[in-house]
Structure 1
Amino acid sequence: MDASTNQISDDYTEVYSRLPLRVHLAYGVGHVLNDVCASMWFTYLLVFFHLVLDFSNWQTGLMLLVGQVADALATPFVGYHSDQSDNFVFCRYGRRKVWHLLGTVCVLGAFPFIFSPCAGCTNSHKSAQIFYYCIFIIIFQFGWASVQISHLSLIPELTPNEHDRTKLTAVRYCFTVISNLVVYVVTWMVLHLDNGEHSRIGPNDGPKFQHVVWSVLSLGTVCSLIFHVLVKEGDNETSQNVRGGQLRISMKELFTNMKVYQVALIYMSSRLFVNLSQVFIPLYLHETLNMTASSLALIPLTMFIGSFVTSAFIEKINRMCGRKLTYTFGAALGITGCLWIKFGQGNSYVSSYIYVVACLLGSGGSIILVSSLGVTTDLIGEKTDSGAFVYGLMSFTDKLANGVAVVIIQYLHSDASNTTYYRDVLTNVCGGFRSCRGCYCGIYV
């Protein structure tokens, strides 16, 4: 029995060591298309529809809510069907990759229309234009969910090791940060060079956003091709499922396990902090600090530089300190940034300290997001056959909560003279969600 166990361990180590670097990198770029679209969606959707297309705060929040609800409903659907191996005629290509491919087509086909004037209806009533945009938003969000869930569910199948799953997650997030950097650099170049240093966002900036969209979609398309060519799902070289068969989590086990709800709360609060700070930072810069158009790209760029630098060390920090301490450290950085926003004022804050705040938000968000994804992979464990559905459930809570939060925040902003509104949102709402970290300590006690 001992000899057999040792032989299995040796075989396990041998198979595991064969995962090449090119697969890590190819896997990482497989989510770049989603990342560049998400960066545009969360950072500039409200800016584009409110400041460029002249929709009200409530209307812009409603369209973002429609997208988040569509995404929330799509994620468990995609997750469930992605876990099936015999109900899709194209599953020979890979049950995860076929959904990734389907989602890529939907994203490329719908996203450009979201950041463009209403084709043939620019003079129509706002309600008609909202209906027009919501059609493309729903298609885009279904595609986005398909790519996200299929890509995430590959992690526990590629490797069974906790630290290497964290490494894959960190590589994935590293490319997420790079994607956001590209979006903000391109946006800054377009807005800064075309608008000049002292201009602000207005209705004439619509074509500039379209230039940004087409530029980043081109990058995302190339990265998706690399992913589909180099990552072979189920191939002996890349598949690390060495336990002789895949396991599935039963529905009863899933919904009666308290850890599932704890992990969902941690994942949801982490995403809320990252996404809401990304959504409202540009509006805070525009309304509260009265900064120029180029700053709406430069400050988010600084946030993701902080994220990028931090993401390179997350796996090592997690290995040395464990997930709990790592997550708590990231939450502390985020709360510090939120408090600084509350009390920051004056010329020195606008010209200098706001960049430090951006780094704190970016670094804290990077740490808590990678840690929360790592906790989710730990929850799946060896039962990788239900991985996509579990990721879908986690994402369902995240997307729905984000949409509801944004539409409520936008609805309550009815007084245009209240220039400190988005400052208070970043401090109280984003900082408040970081306080949810306390329940993390009870997950694996």
Structure 2
Amino acid sequence: MDSSTEHLISDEYTEVYRRLPLRLQLAYGIGHVLNDICASMWFTYLLVFFHLVLEFDNWQAGFMLLIGQVADALATPFVGFHSDQSDNFWFCRYGRRKTWHLLGTVCVLGAFPFIFSPCISCSGSHVWAQMFYFSIFIIIFQFGWASVQISHLSLIPELTPNEHDRIKLTAIRYGFTVMSNLLVYIITWLVLHINSGDNEGQIGPSDAPKFQTIVWVGLSVGVLCSLIFHLLVKEGNDYGGNNVRAGQLRTNIAELLCNKEIYQVAFTYMSTRLFVNLTQVFIPLYLHEYLNMTASALALIPLIMYIGSFVTAGAIEKINRGFGRKTAYITGSFIGAAACLWVLLRSGQLFVTYEIHAVAVLFGAGGSIILVTSLGITADLIGDRTGNGAFIYGLMSFTDKLANGIAVVVIQDLHKTFPDNTYYRNVIAYFCGSCAIVGALSVISLIKRVRDREEYLTIPGTDSINTNTAQADIQPIH
């Protein structure tokens, strides 16, 4: 290659792959806030609302969550596949990812308020009629949620090819997830504690209007954030997105499904989500049933969990950069497993008064580390195959949603067999702890495909850039 050609390529790739400005990073991060607010309510308070407020039994409440998880699991690969298609339909010129994001936002806003409200004109009907009523809104909501999630995640490898920018986008995205959860728990604590006539009481049917207040305040914030995202983030950008002159790489779906690394990463992601989501689902019931804590504690302890997440989120990108994905994930798993062990071994007034807050911080810190790192591993798997990005994220989410839904309904159903008040303590200690350990073992065994470079240039401030894509080589994740 002569000097003039090398200079030309250097100028081209310096322009195309320059680092993302902070304004764009932040605008991208808030694009998932509406989903995060709804997910916080869904995982933390759905069982509480259906079981303690609407007075469904444990199995019925768990079944409603299962319906949502199955709907989400089926929607994610569907949305992922169609989001990857290069349609020429006029509306899709708005951006294939952003089009699905907008569609999903409309579905979420139209359905979610009905899930946390008593059945309109049918509150006295048979429980199965009420379950059918709620199922309709749950399915619409989960389709919309999946559309927003997959389209938003698949924008990461399109916005930048830089590995460190990708993990930074993931960390910023998770930082806004944490802040969204903090917002939900602060609002919930204010509504249940300050506006309650009996601060020492536990949650019951009279609290239904309070949950509606929480939902509407949260949705108002989410709508504002979605509007900012759509105004500021352009899908065709100048920072290495889907207009990169080298073009997008796309792998045949059948070939993609024959890649065993897809299933390794999916198993890691599934284990991660099981730990994060099930601790979020069952800690409020553990607080209510085993520790006999007041209604306001069901907001305060999850709030402390997410303060731990928020404090940790700022260091996750540095941990991944300095020590690698594998070490970062194992560290997070160890912290999460330690929290589960603490729950198993301790109880009593001292634990309820003081120690539970430290346990909550450990759950938040461990969960944030393994979740952000697992998303980084998924982005690494996609690499420069951004043409398949949404479909791969859809496959990851399919395993996550299905596993979570089945786990919740089985755990709720088994409660009839083990009615002891230690049940939810044991679920958190044994099941969630096992998920953290299994996730760590999965990461240890994981391999990563790294593309050989026939020729490459190292651009200051960026990673090495592929100028030609060669046959894949197998190397371990460090």
Q: Please indicate the TM-score interval, normalised by the length of the shorter structure.
A: over 0.9
- Match of residue 117 from structure 1: 118
> Which is helix-richer, 1 or 2?
1
Q: How does 1:7-406 map to 2 (within 5 A)?
A: 7-17=8-18, 19-86=20-87, 88-195=89-196, 196-236=198-238, 239=241, 242-406=244-408
SS of match in other structure, 2:195: helix
CA contact (8 A) 1:300 1:358 kept: yes
CA contact (8 A) 2:235 2:242 kept: no
Question: Deviations 1:147-171 (Å, cap 9, x if unpaired)?
Answer: 0000000000001011110000000
* Count of matched residue pairs: 445
- Match of residue 457 from structure 2: none
CA contact (8 A) 2:163 2:380 kept: yes
**Counterpart amino acid of residue 165 in structure 1:** R
Residue 333 to residue 438, structure 1, CA distance change in 2 (3 Å): same
> Which is strand-richer, 1 or 2?
2
Q: Which has the higher contact order (CA 8 A, sep 6+)?
A: 1
CA contact (8 A) 1:231 1:238 kept: no
Question: Deviations 1:280-317 (Å, cap 9, x if unpaired)?
Answer: 00000000000000000000000000000100110011
Residue 335 to residue 243, structure 1, CA distance change in 2 (3 Å): farther
SS of match in other structure, 1:408: helix
Query: RMSD value over aligned CA atoms?
Result: 1.4
**Counterpart amino acid of residue 124 in structure 1:** S
CA contact (8 A) 2:34 2:226 kept: yes
SS of match in other structure, 1:378: helix
- Match of residue 443 from structure 1: 446
| Off by >4 Å, runs of 4+ in structure 1 | none
Deviation at 1:5, TM superposition (A): 4.5
Deviation at 1:379, TM superposition (A): 0.5
CA contact (8 A) 1:159 1:241 kept: no
State the alpha-carbon separation in 1 of the partners of residues 403 and 89 from structure 2.
31
- Match of residue 424 from structure 2: 422
SS of match in other structure, 1:178: helix
State the alpha-carbon separation in 2 of the partners of residues 288 and 87 from structure 1.
56
Greater Cα offset, 415-424 or 389-398: 415-424
Deviation at 1:40, TM superposition (A): 0.1
CA contact (8 A) 2:185 2:299 kept: yes
SS of match in other structure, 1:254: helix
Q: Which runs of 5+ in 1 are unaligned?
A: none
**Counterpart amino acid of residue 267 in structure 2:** L
State the alpha-carbon separation in 2 of the partners of residues 351 and 159 from structure 1.
47
- Match of residue 455 from structure 2: none
CA contact (8 A) 2:157 2:241 kept: no
**Counterpart amino acid of residue 270 in structure 2:** M
Residue 238 to residue 221, structure 1, CA distance change in 2 (3 Å): farther
State the alpha-carbon separation in 1 of the partners of residues 302 and 373 from structure 2.
22
CA contact (8 A) 1:303 1:362 kept: yes
Over the matched positions of the two proteins, sequence identity in percent amounts to: 67
State the alpha-carbon separation in 1 of the partners of residues 288 and 367 from structure 2.
22
State the alpha-carbon separation in 1 of the partners of residues 236 and 214 from structure 2.
36
TM-score by length of 1: 0.98
| Bigger Cα Rg | 2
Residue 400 to residue 77, structure 1, CA distance change in 2 (3 Å): same
Question: Deviations 1:120-150 (Å, cap 9, x if unpaired)?
Answer: 1000000000000000000000000000000
